[in-house]
């Protein structure tokens, strides 16, 4: 039976465990380049035991960024920064993955802490966005994108191929396409954003054409041993949007075009999502992810509220997922895998860190519980061990167990 710390092989690449650091935009780039910040930030997560480490979504064109502070790989002069990061991740025992994308009508923004609103095309830090159709997202993104021509779509396919070539040159060993969260690929997929009447709009087959062409373009230049995966928005949570049933059909087609693993998420093509929104609950995406895995017969991963080690381990043990992607938990704790290993009683949790660190942690360390959370107290309370009161947990055990039990009940086969 696999567990969270079991190695995982896809194509010709083996991860040391089932724990991936999910791509998260950091807004720390200048001219699209990765620099010392990214070297520190991503290297620390690899040193902390993550098996697969992604930088943020990497733009394939300048107008594919979210802000002017976002990273790209659309120019050869950006390769060096990526190579430094990749080399660091590898030296710390991780596999470096890259997520390629284009933000479509959700670009030309300011950073979230500045409000996250859209800048007009004429602004010095803004630009004219492009999308499948000339439909604004709305809300804080009111400016209408320009509809892509078929010639521009052809060029975007070339951009995917060219960026992949640069990624391989930089040393990445895992390539993912970001076709979720209301970005360009997700926009083509969703009737909420795609009103085209040509071969890229209307039917599900036409709305998936962009995905299949992108897979073909990337696969044509990607070495056979490197996995090609996709983060896909499988549900718009809106009656006029993409459904899980449609996505399952589309993923079957994608599998035929070289997709090796589906990383499933939400479409986010509207701010008017309806019904039960799964991303606010523990393991909220697991049920639909497992359905994709079972019905398509493809390896599967997802994120969203899997940061409780017991839950993350359980979805791997029960073969509901193949990989667990962690975003905010990776930000909060660079050594989350070690934390989880200690909490779950893994035999040698310090095998997840570099050998020189592991030596110090295994030897001459005094009280085991003094290293840090979780304290290895063999079930004793802090009061019993040291005569001090433990702070109240952020999530009460009873509430967590109740939510976990509800999730398990949903996941049990009928």
- DSSP letter (8 states) at residue 109: B
pLDDT band at 129 (very low <50, low <70, confident <90, very high): very high
- The CATH number of whichever domain residue 304 belongs to comes to 3.20.20.70
**Which residues does 208 contact at the CB level (< 8 Å), separation at least 6?**
189, 250, 253, 254
For residues 332 and 387, state if they share a domain. Answer: no
DSSP H helices, 124-194, are 150-170, 184-189
Query: Which residue segment(s) compose the domain that 376 sits in?
Result: 369-411
Q: What is the pLDDT of residues 304-341, one digit of tens each?
A: 899 999 999 999 999 999 999 999 999 999 999 999 99
Q: Are 188 and 132 in contact (CB under 8 A)?
A: yes
For residues 72 and 132, state if they share a domain. Answer: yes
Q: What is the mean pLDDT of the chain?
A: 91
Query: Pick the catalytic residue: 183, 200, 325, 339?
Result: 183
Give this prediction's pTM. Answer: 0.90
Q: What is the mean pLDDT of residues 97-109?
A: 98
The pLDDT of residue 371: 74
At 404, phi and psi to the nearest 5?
A: -65, -40
70-74, 85-89, 278-282: least confident range: 278-282
Q: For residue 357, what are the CA distances in angstroms to 150, 198, 280, 351?
A: 54, 58, 36, 9
- DSSP letter (8 states) at residue 173: -
Domain annotation covers residue 328: yes
Q: How far apart are CA 347 and CA 357, in angstroms?
A: 17
Domain annotation covers residue 363: no
Q: How far apart are CA 193 and CA 210, in angstroms?
A: 14
The pLDDT of residue 399: 53
Q: What is the number of structural domains in the chain?
A: 2
Domain annotation covers residue 314: yes
For residues 248 and 396, state if they share a domain. Answer: no
Q: How far apart are CA 211 and CA 148, in angstroms?
A: 15
The pLDDT of residue 384: 38
The pLDDT of residue 379: 44
* 183 catalytically annotated: yes
Q: Can you name the residues that pair with 146 across neighbouring β-strands?
A: 130
Q: What is the pLDDT of residues 32-55, one digit of tens each?
A: 999 999 999 999 999 999 999 999
For residues 117 and 208, state if they share a domain. Answer: yes
Q: Are 185 and 231 in contact (CB under 8 A)?
A: no
The pLDDT of residue 365: 60
Q: What is the pLDDT of residues 260-280, one digit of tens each?
A: 999 999 999 999 999 887 777
**Which residues does 58 contact at the CB level (< 8 Å), separation at least 6?**
71, 72, 73, 82, 98, 99, 100, 101, 163, 167
Size (the chain), residues: 414
DSSP-derived 3-state class of residue 81: helix
For residues 275 and 377, state if they share a domain. Answer: no
For residues 78 and 135, state if they share a domain. Answer: yes
For residues 170 and 300, state if they share a domain. Answer: yes
Q: For residue 189, what are the CA distances in angstroms to 179, 185, 209, 262, 277?
A: 8, 6, 9, 15, 20
């Amino acid at each position: 039976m696999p567990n969270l710390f079991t190695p995982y092989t896809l194509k010709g690449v083996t991860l040391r465990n089932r724990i991936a650091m999910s791509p998260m935009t950091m807004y720390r780039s200048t001219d699209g380049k990765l620099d010392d910040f990214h070297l520190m930030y991503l290297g620390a997560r690899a040193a902390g035991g993550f098996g697969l480490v992604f930088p943020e979504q990497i733009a394939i064109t300048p107008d594919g960024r979210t802000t002017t502070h976002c990273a790209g790989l659309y120019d050869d002069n950006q390769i060096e920064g990526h190579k430094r990061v990749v080399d660091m991740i590898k030296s710390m025992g991780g596999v470096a993955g890259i997520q390629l994308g284009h933000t479509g009508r959700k670009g030309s923004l300011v950073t979230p802490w500045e409000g996250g609103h859209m800048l007009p095309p004429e602004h010095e830090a803004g630009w004219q966005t492009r999308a499948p159709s000339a439909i604004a997202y709305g809300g804080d993104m009111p400016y209408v994108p320009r509809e892509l021509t078929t010639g521009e779509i052809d060029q975007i396919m070339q951009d995917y191929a060219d960026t992949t070539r640069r990624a391989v040159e930089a040393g990445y060993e895992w390539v993912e396409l970001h076709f979720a969260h209301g970005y360009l690929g997700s926009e083509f997929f969703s009737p909420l954003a795609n009103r085209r009447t040509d071969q890229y709009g209307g039917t599900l087959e036409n709305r998936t054409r962009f995905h299949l062409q992108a897979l073909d373009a990337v696969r044509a230049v990607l070495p056979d041993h490197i996995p090609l995966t996709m983060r896909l928005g499988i549900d718009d949570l809106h009656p006029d949007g993409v459904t899980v049933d449609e996505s399952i059909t589309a993923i079957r087609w994608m599998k035929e075009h070289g997709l090796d693993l589906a990383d499933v998420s939400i479409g986010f093509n509207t701010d008017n999502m309806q019904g039960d929104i799964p991303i606010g609950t523990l393991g909220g995406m697991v049920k639909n992810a497992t359905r994709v895995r079972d019905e398509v017969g493809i390896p599967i991963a997802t994120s969203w509220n899997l940061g409780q080690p017991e839950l993350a381990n359980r979805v791997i043990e029960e073969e509901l997922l193949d990989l667990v992607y962690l975003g905010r938990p990776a930000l909060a704790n660079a050594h989350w895998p070690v934390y989880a290993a200690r909490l779950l009683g893994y035999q040698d949790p310090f095998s997840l860190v570099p050998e020189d660190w592991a030596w110090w942690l295994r030897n001459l360390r005094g009280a085991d519980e003094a290293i840090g959370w979780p304290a290895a107290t063999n079930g004793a309370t802090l009061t019993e061990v040291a005569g001090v009161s433990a702070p109240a947990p952020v999530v009460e055990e009873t509430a967590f167990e109740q939510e976990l039990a509800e999730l398990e009940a949903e996941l049990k086969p009928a």
